[in-house]
Structures are given as C-alpha cells and as structure tokens.
Amino acid sequence: MVNEEIPKEVWGTQIRKGLADLAVLTLLARESTYGSDLVSRLAAHPALAMASGTVYPLLNRLKAAGLLSTRWQESPLGPPRKYYSLTPEGNRALEAMRASWKDVVTDLTNILEES
C-alpha cells in the first residue's frame, strides 16, 4: 500500500527489484551486450535505472541459474569485453516472465480502473 510514510523512491525501488530480471533479460534478448553498456541502456529508462553494483550481481545470479552465457569479444575501442547472451533456457524463462507480466498488468489495470 502506498501512503505518506512510503516515499515515491522507496516504492519505485521495490517495483524495480521485482522487474529487474525481466528488464535485463528483455534487453539481452534484443542484443547481446557487456555489463557497463547494459547499465547505460537501463539508465536510459529512469524508472528502471540500476547502479552497476546492482546489475553485476544480478547478471551473476542469472548466469548461475543457466539463463545467461558469457563470452569475451574484441572491442573496437580498448580491451576485450565480456558479452552476455540469453541461453535457450533464458529465452524460455523470458517468455514465461513476459506472459506473467502481461497478466499482472491486465489485472492491475482492471483493479485501478475499478477504484
């Protein structure tokens, strides 16, 4: 429940925590990329912006769960970079998350409109 005792940023953080996996997997499904680029891409969406201290442990966790794979690749600028990609299992997890997210949005929209 949102009330005056829960500032907007705290509420936003709680939502971000729940949706971080979905946001990261969706961005990586579009295109493989490296950690700092992923942080920049998330920063382009202020509601989903996360610090690198949040993103890297999250990537580690998704990798340990078998949803991501990594590979070093040469960079045209500077040293090689570690790129993250979705594994087949990651793609399946993303599909399931998307379906759940659509259900949540539909149901929550209905509740908000009713009120």
Partner 1 sequence: MTGSESLGERAAHTWWAPANPRLFLPRALGIGWDLNFGAVAVKLGLIEPDAENVPFESTPDSAFRLAAVLPVACAAATIAHYGVRGRSLPEELPSNWGLTGNVTRKTSKRVAAWADLGLTVLPAGLACWAASHRDTPGPERAGLVATGTMLATVGAATTVLRSLPNPEKKRWWIGPALLKAAFVPVGATLLGLALAGRAAEIERDLATND
| Contacts to partner 1 by CB under 8 A | 35, 51-53, 56-57, 59-60, 63, 70-74, 80, 82
> Nearest approach, Cβ of 91 to partner 1 (angstroms)?
20
> Nearest approach, Cβ of 74 to partner 1 (angstroms)?
7
Residue (1 or 78) nearer to partner 1, CB: 78
Residue (75 or 106) nearer to partner 1, CB: 75
Evaluate whether 69 touches 29 at the Cβ level (below 8 Å): no
Neighbour count for residue 50 (Cβ, 10 Å): 19
Structure tokens at 109: 């929209």
Nearest CA to 39 out of 60, 54, 18 is that of 54
Residue whose token pair is 């078998």? 66
Residue (18 or 57) nearer to partner 1, CB: 57
Residue (56 or 101) nearer to partner 1, CB: 56
> Nearest approach, Cβ of 38 to partner 1 (angstroms)?
10
From residue 84, alpha-carbon distances to 2, 14, 29, 73, 90 in Å are: 36, 25, 10, 10, 11
